[in-house]
Structure 1
Amino acid sequence: MSEKRTALVTGANKGIGYEIAAGLGTLGFRVGVGARDPERLGPAVAKLRADGVDAFGVPLDVTDDASVAAAADLLQRQEGRLDVLVNNSGISGPYAPDWTQDPTTLDLDAVRAVVDVNVYGTVRVTNALLPLLRRAPSPRIVNTSSSMGSLTRRTGPVMAAYAPSKSFLNAITVQYARQLEGTGILVNVACPGLVATDFTGFHGRSPAEGAATPVRLATLPDGGPSGGFFDDEGEVPW
């Protein structure tokens, strides 16, 4: 078992996920770069390594049980434990040219696909990796969400598939925090804000800025908050 702290970031071959991996690597973590596309995974790992990050590739499709099991097996054999899990993989689903998803005309298959990645994928990966997290001295789980999932703020355009999927993710994070209370595993939700990626049509701030809150939550001290929803400014109202 490696004595170096190890992190896994899903959806880490680009955008916010890549910058979360880079940020954790800068702090001395050995970082597993989770990605479902092998053609993008290799170059992302190579770039991180060129920048001095101790990175390795983890082929991972969060919607596929066999893929998640294979990733857990790889981490078990190669690392022996996991200190940090960042569930960053997410999709928006199809939307209109004005960036909206009309609830009155929603395709239910599209909603299912969004929830499968944004929620079920997080549950699938988290549960598969909990045995490895339990072996770490100060394990942390961070789920990447959005203030669009806040029932109080109701930010952004009407996106009737994406926004509720994040509300669902926020709610299930609270249940994990309650279940794992007293184990030392801290579980929180991070809102990166509006970040310039292909997901947003490259509107917003830099991915590195968006990665700051997930990285901070991934490195909370023992006794830190669990079951919270945070952005750069502090707690986000649910």
Structure 2
Amino acid sequence: MSSTTATRVILVTGSNRGIGYGIVARLAREFLPTAGKEERLKIYVGSRDQQKGEDAIKSLQSELGKTLQANNTSLQTCQLDMSDVESRKNAIAYIVERDGGLHTVIQNAGVALDGFDAEVVRKTFETNFHNVVAFNNELLPILQENARIVILASMAGSLQGYSDEIIRRFRAASTTKEVETLADEYYKAVQKGDYKDKGWKGAAYGCSKACIIAYTRAFSNELRKSDDARLRSITINSCCPGYVNTGMTKGKGVLTLDQGAATPVMLALQDLNGRSGGYFKDEKEQNW
């Protein structure tokens, strides 16, 4: 992206509905140009289904009214199936062709499946963990200096209920490989049926989010140790949006989409003083 292009570019995955939709709307409302700059914001609405993404943009334009124009914000659909490697590559090429790169990615796409067995664990981790890790790696070449990665985790990623040894390993993981090893061990333990004996708990969604929080810390550590100054400047943080009323919570959530968007949008737009590797809830960094 040329230095003369004063456009901040943000991609929000899984944003044609639910919390992702709320994040896009709140980004548009809260965006303020950097002091002294004529800056614009462009938000890519990531959606597996192109038409649903376009429908979401129409709904957002109707909801936001003149806010988009007043805040120099534009919306663009980006077909993105996080489970499909080619779709991810095509989405990256699409963004590069139009804008040269990204300033922020908000990794929102995720699932919470009913039941608990090895297949539920496999599917949950594929979406909530492995695809997120893979996409971040694929995005690295197009992330601009001082870019931000924001990943939606969950309070379900709490370390309560694990053995002391598993908790120690989660907190001590300093490389993404160590976190991936933990995820693999969990899956194998569930397959064998001895996960409780090995210190794990029967919670596919919660464990996937614990891995995300640990991964955020580890990936931040790896970025800071990079020989590339651009990579060292990139920050990554995870957050819990709260118990939001969405399809994932089956309508039982107590927070609105806008309330759920507050913390991820804060991490995307506000001055964090270089903080990276943190886990946030209610717009504050949390102990984990």
Counterpart code for 1:46: K
Closer, same or farther in 2 for the Cα pair 1:198/1:222, shift >3 Å?
Answer: closer
Paired letter, 2:126: D
Q: Deviations over 1:109-160 (max 9, x none)?
A: 1211110110111112211111111xx2421100001011010499xxx861
Structure 1 residue 72, shift from structure 2 partner: 0.5
Q: 1:42-79, CA deviations, whole angstroms, 9 ceiling, x for partnerless residues?
A: 10122223422511011111111101000000011011
Q: 1:198 is matched with which residue: 234, 247, 259?
A: 247
Which deviates more, 40-49 or 160-169? 40-49
Separation (CA, whole Å) in 2 of partners of 1:49 and 1:125: 28
What is the correspondence of 1:1-238 to structure 2 with a 5 Å cutoff? Answer: 1=1, 2-26=5-29, 27=31, 29-50=41-62, 51=64, 52=68, 53-95=73-115, 106-133=116-143, 136-152=144-160, 160-181=203-224, 183-203=232-252, 204-221=254-271, 223-232=273-282, 234-238=284-288
Q: Which runs of 4+ in 1 moved over 6 A?
A: none
- How many Å separate the matches in 1 of 2:146 and 2:57? 25
Q: Is the 8 A contact 2:239 2:263 kept in 1?
A: yes
Separation in 1, partners of 2:101, 2:202: 38
Cα distance in 1 for residues equivalent to 2:23 and 2:286: 20
Q: Matches of 2:18 and 2:161 in 1, distance apart?
A: 25
Q: Which runs of 5+ in 2 are unaligned?
A: 32-39, 163-200
Matched residues, number: 223
Distance in 2, matches of 1:137 and 1:188, equals 16
The offset of 1:236, in angstroms, is 2.3
Q: Is the 8 A contact 1:191 1:231 kept in 2?
A: yes
Report if the CA contact (8 A) 1:186-1:225 is conserved.
yes
Is the Cα–Cα contact under 8 Å of residues 138 and 222 in structure 1 kept in the other structure? no
Give the fraction of aligned pairs with identical amino acids, expressed as a percent: 35
User: In the superposition, relative to structure 1, how do residues 198 and 66 fare at CA in structure 2: closer, same or farther (>3 Å)?
Assistant: same
Counterparts of 1:38 and 1:120, CA distance in 2: 23
In 2, Cα distance between equivalents of 1:153 and 1:6: 40
The two structures have a TM-score, normalised by structure 1, of 0.87
Secondary structure of 2:132's match? Answer: helix
- For the residues of structure 2 that align with 1:226 and 1:153, how far apart are their CA atoms? 26
Unaligned runs of 5+ in 1: 96-105
- Distance change in 2, residues 1:222/1:211 (3 Å): closer
SS of corresponding position for 2:251: coil
Distance 2:103 2:157 in 1: 27
What secondary structure does 1:5 align onto?
A: strand
Q: Is the 8 A contact 1:12 1:33 kept in 2?
A: yes
Identify which range, 186-195 or 225-234, moves more after superposition.
225-234
TM-score (norm 2): 0.73
Deviations 1:73-93 (A, max 9, x none): 001101101011000000011
Return 176-185 or 193-202, whichever deviates more. Answer: 176-185
Contact 1:62 1:124 in 2 (8 A): no
